[in-house]
Amino acid sequence: MKRWRRRVLFLLGGIAVGLAAILMATLADHAQLAFGRLLAVSPYLAVVVTPLGFGLALLLAIKVFPNSQGSGIPQVIAALHLHDQQARAPLVSLRVAVGKIVVMTVGLLCGASIGREGPTVQVGGAIMFAIGRFAPFRQPGFLLAGAAAGVAAAFNTPLAGIVFGIEELSRSFEMRTSGLIIGAVIAAGLTSLAIVGDYDYFGSTAAVLPFGRAWVVVPVCAALCGLAGGLFSRILLLFARGLPGMAGATIKRHPVIFAMLCGLGVALCGLVSHDHVYGTGYEQARAIIHGTGGVDYSFGPWKFAATLLSSISGIPGGIFAPSLAIGAGLASDLSLLFREVPIGALVLIGMVSYLTGVVQAPITSFVITSEMTNDHAMVIPLMAAALIANATSRMVVREGLYHALAKVIMRAGREPRERPPSQADDPAVPAGRESPPAGTAG
């Protein structure tokens, strides 16, 4: 009886995660369209709207929806490492899930360079965590399965959801847990399939890397994009752990003002890039992959800057989709040097390499990119690029971004609760009263 009860709960949870992913995708698309209509009136309106939107988003995240800041994946990882149910709850509650959806939408509505996929992981984990209360056994399994289903539903990549759950969230393979993940991913995927149909995130591609001299692009592109991804992570972790001296103290005292300054920086990046760096970067990456034009060679560096500013500001939002867009942009710049390499193949290598450099999850990176483009001919070069990018990223930062941020969250949970909230401790979670209770980290 308990086994059937558990299966039914997982089925219902997977369906709920799929519905939540569709809702978040719809809200994200409408928010970006609304901001685009604003820019059509005048691109200079972003100089006012984006900073104010950043300030509002962080204020809501701190005062109304604590623990909704940043990607959301570090919160899930931290919750998985905590042994106390009461300690997990503040990180993956339904209140946090609602806040994540609301404030992420606010961020995209004002032009932030953020994604919805990381937030979908936290929302998926929160939904399954809440359902798991009706089955007290295997609570961590419910949380893990919900987060993995969030990745699968957000990108329509079931294999990547399973791999992400094993490689990045749990960092282990355990037969019973893998079965729970697969079940939740199937339920979420079928829900998405029934409502929005089958689709490839970036459209189907037929890119092929000719064997021979063209393969020299693999180590070159992987090393450069891996280093860039590692640099992104290192800077973000520097702000997450708190800048030293007066700069760090000022950010602690005035996190909302700092967020507004970051928003102003994003608006300036938008102006110089002809409005290409706002939002998830999905349209730009798709245009680069398929060679439909409209994106110039400065897109990669400006998208890097806009995404970094959005991330260190602390507002809720993911880095998955923007990272893929940055990788596509940086790789397209290399086409000036490697004219004999098909642009589609070069861009896919760049996407895998930069994403690997940021999160240091090479298997997830090449699986998710392969699934999003339905390009099986590129699997071997993408595998090689992921391994090279992972090695070069580790030369810049020793630990993957999400796990490093999760440690910041757990460390903040051990600190005195009287300490004032500080966005500078972690763009993914405020310190002090919004953190898990002291002494609960495991």
Please identify which residue in the block is written with the tokens 């890039």. 273
Residues 203 and 374: their CA atoms lie apart, in Å, by: 8
pLDDT number for residue 146: 84
Q: For 355-375, b where at least 16 C-beta lie within 10 A, e where not — what string?
A: bbbbbbbbbbbbbbbbbbbeb
Residues 261 and 312: their CA atoms lie apart, in Å, by: 11
For residue 131, how many other CB atoms are within 10 A of its CB? 18
pLDDT at 34 over 90: yes
Residues in Cβ contact with 291 at an 8 Å cutoff, skipping those fewer than 6 apart: 343, 344
Bridge partners of residue 318, in order along the sequence: 115
pLDDT number for residue 404: 92
Write the DSSP assignment of 43-69 as a string of letters.
GGGHHHHHHHHHHHHHHHHHHTSTT--
pLDDT number for residue 166: 78
Q: Percent of the chain at pLDDT above 70?
A: 85
Per-residue pLDDT reduced to its tens digit, 51-87: 999 999 999 999 999 888 888 899 999 888 887 777 7
Domains and CATH numbers, the chain: 2-196 (1.10.3080.10), 213-393 (1.10.3080.10)
pLDDT number for residue 127: 92
Per-residue pLDDT reduced to its tens digit, 98-120: 999 999 999 999 999 999 888 99
Q: Say which DSSP state 434 is in.
A: G
Per-residue pLDDT reduced to its tens digit, 151-200: 888 777 788 888 888 777 776 545 455 666 777 777 777 787 777 766 55
Residues 18 and 190: their CA atoms lie apart, in Å, by: 8
- What average pLDDT does this structure show over 407-423? 60
Write the DSSP assignment of 196-233 as a string of letters.
H-S--TT--------SSGGGGHHHHHHHHHHHHHHHHH
Confidence of residue 206 (pLDDT cuts 50, 70, 90): low
pLDDT at 324 over 90: yes
Task: Retrieve residue 193's tokens.
Answer: 């399939």
pLDDT number for residue 87: 79
Bridge partners of residue 115, in order along the sequence: 318
Confidence of residue 413 (pLDDT cuts 50, 70, 90): low
pLDDT number for residue 356: 95
pLDDT number for residue 176: 53
pLDDT at 332 over 60: yes
**Rounded to an integer, what is the distance from CA 325 to the centroid of its chain?**
12
pLDDT number for residue 213: 78
| 100 and 123 Cβ atoms separated by less than 8 Å | yes
User: Which sign, positive or negative, has the C-alpha torsion 10, 13, 18, 24?
Assistant: negative
pTM value? 0.87
